[in-house]
Amino acid sequence: MGAAKLRNYIGGEWVEAQTVEYAEVIDPARGKLLARVPLSTSADVERAVKSAAEAFPDWRNTPPAARARYLFRLKELMEDRFDELAEIQTREHGKTIDESRGETRRGIEQVEVASAIPTLMQGCNLEDIAAAGIDEHCFFQPVGVFSHIAPFNFPFMAPLWFVPYAIAAGNTFVVKPSPRVPLSQTRVVELFEEIDLPPGVLNMVHGANEATNAILHHPDVAGVTFVGSTAVGRDIIYKSCGETGKRVIAQCGAKNFIVVLEDCDLEKSMAGLMTSFFGNTGQRCLAGANLVLVGSDSFRQRAVDAFIGAAAAIRVGDGMDGSVQMGPLQNAASKQRVIGYIETGIREGAQLALDGRKLRLSDPDLPQDCFLNPSVFVDVTPQMTIAREEIFGPVACILRAADLDQAIDMIHESPYGNSAAIYTSSGRAAQKFRHDVKCGNIGVNVGVPAPMAFFPFGGMKDSFFGSLHGQGKDAIRSFTDPKVVVERWF
Residues in the chain: 490
Q: What is the 3-state secondary structure (H, E, C) of the chain?
A: CCCEECCEEECCEEECCCCCCEEEEECCCCCCEEEEEECCCHHHHHHHHHHHHHHHHHHHCCCHHHHHHHHHHHHHHHHHCHHHHHHHHHHHHCCCHHHHHHHHHHHHHHHHHHCCHHHHCCCEEECCCCCCCEEEEEEEEECCEEEEECCCCCCCCHHHHCHHHHHHCCCEEEEECCCCCCHHHHHHHHHHHHCCCCCCCEEECCCCHHHHHHHHHCCCEEEEEEECCHHHHHHHHHHHHHHHCCEEEEECCCCEEEEEECCCCHHHHHHHHHHHHHHHHHCCCCCEEEEEEECCHHHHHHHHHHHHHHHHCCCECCCCCCCCCECCCCCHHHHHHHHHHHHHHHHCCCEEEECCCCCCECCCCCCCCCCCCCEEEECCCCCCHHHHCCCCCCEEEEEEECCHHHHHHHHHHCCEECEEEEECCCHHHHHHHHHHCCCCEEEECCCCCCCCCCCCCCCEECCEEECCCCCHHHHHHHCEEEEEEEEECC
Contact predicate 368/328, CB 8 Å? no
- 264, 285, 397, 439: the catalytic one is 285
Q: What angle do CA 353, 356, 358 make, to 5 degrees?
A: 105
172: phi then psi, degrees, rounded to nearest 5 = -115, 170
The yes-or-no answer on residue 285 being catalytic is yes
Contact predicate 457/417, CB 8 Å? no
Q: How far apart are CA 337 and CA 346, in angstroms?
A: 15
Q: How far apart are CA 328 and CA 27, in angstroms?
A: 10
Q: What angle do CA 270, 275, 276 make, to 5 degrees?
A: 95
Residues forming a β-bridge with 124:
138
Kindly list the catalytic residues: 285
